[in-house]
Chains A and B, each alone.
Chain A
């Protein structure tokens, strides 16, 4: 499936082909620690075992302070 990932920290948008199922799988694929981000879809916070759908737009809010 196709997923769009918006990285708050990198200020970048990534379009990727995703072979997994869950938020946890996505974070593993893009090598992001679940401790370092809040995962949001349509303003809705997702936990790690939430299932993703084709064409989902996922926002990764940075947990880490910038200072």
Chain B
């Protein structure tokens, strides 16, 4: 039996909590949801210069395309560019980089590339065994710390006042549960459509236009728009706490539609209180004494990891 769109009776491509949608109504619904998120949560303004963190996956291609479309639709004069970090993960990043380069060329979007090797002196594949030996840190931990540092530094150096990321509803629901299960209230305060707790010198605020879009909706949008997204799986991403939470959430969502949305909506109710609590903590230094990037300790985590890497 074919499901029909509840708006026009055309063949449906997705069944959402509020009804089925055909291709055209789904594309409109998705774009409107992203544009409303940007406007309602004041993610971008006319004076912004915008860096867009990109990888070549479905989320970043979608957010690149829709940020460009939003700016055009609202006649924002903002300069924007894509920023990609090559971590040096063999068999993975080279594929997504190729997709991203093709996409940016087609869409006429400026693409800036930075790499772990240039910044830290080694690829992730080279750095992980050495750092892990001394600290037991997993590749995803090292990658996350170094990526965030490079994205912030290079976005700021290129004049960006906002850094757009492709985080979606699934990412956020997973992060909320992970922080809850690990009692990381301080980290939870940094979540939300607009990351960060208070303005800090040198920190480019990160914003998430796909905040209310599920991963499934985003993949469907990318497919229906004909974006070339070749699935490539990071060899480091097969295990871990996040994957257990992801599978648990997908199982629950299958049985109780709207679960992820409810988790995020509930969290947004208490987020102002978490941010207020975090703002009262003034014990952290403002900048790393080595690199000058925003830091919670006197030396930022990125520099601390680099020190371990290059220790004799």
> Measuring CB to CB, which residues of chain A are less than 8 angstroms from any residue of chain B?
8-9, 22, 33-36, 38, 40, 45, 47-51, 61-67
Contact = CB atoms under 8 A, between A and B. Distances in A.
B8 to A, nearest CB: 15
A66 to B, nearest CB: 4
A50 B57 contact: no
Q: Is the interface of A mostly helix, strand, loop or mixed?
A: loop
Contacts, number: 69
A49 B14 CA distance: 11
A33 B254 contact: yes
Interface in B201-254: 215-216, 219-220, 223-224, 231-234, 237, 246-247, 250-251, 253-254
A40 B222 CA distance: 14
28 contacts: A8-B231, A9-B233, A33-B247, A34-B254, A35-B216, A35-B251, A35-B253, A40-B223, A45-B14, A45-B223, A47-B2, A47-B12, A47-B13, A48-B15, A50-B1, A50-B2, A61-B219, A63-B216, A63-B219, A65-B57, A66-B57, A66-B231, A66-B232, A66-B234, A67-B92, A67-B96, A67-B233, A67-B237
Give the interface centre of A9, A38, A65 by most chain B CB atoms within 10 Å.
A65
B128 interface: no
Contacts of B246: 64
Given A61-B231, A66-B57, 5 more contacts: A38-B220, A45-B13, A51-B1, A66-B92, A67-B237
B219 A38 contact: yes
B131 to A, nearest CB: 19
Nearest to B243: A64
Contacts of A33: 247, 250-251, 254
Given A38-B216, A64-B215, A66-B233, A47 B15 contact: yes
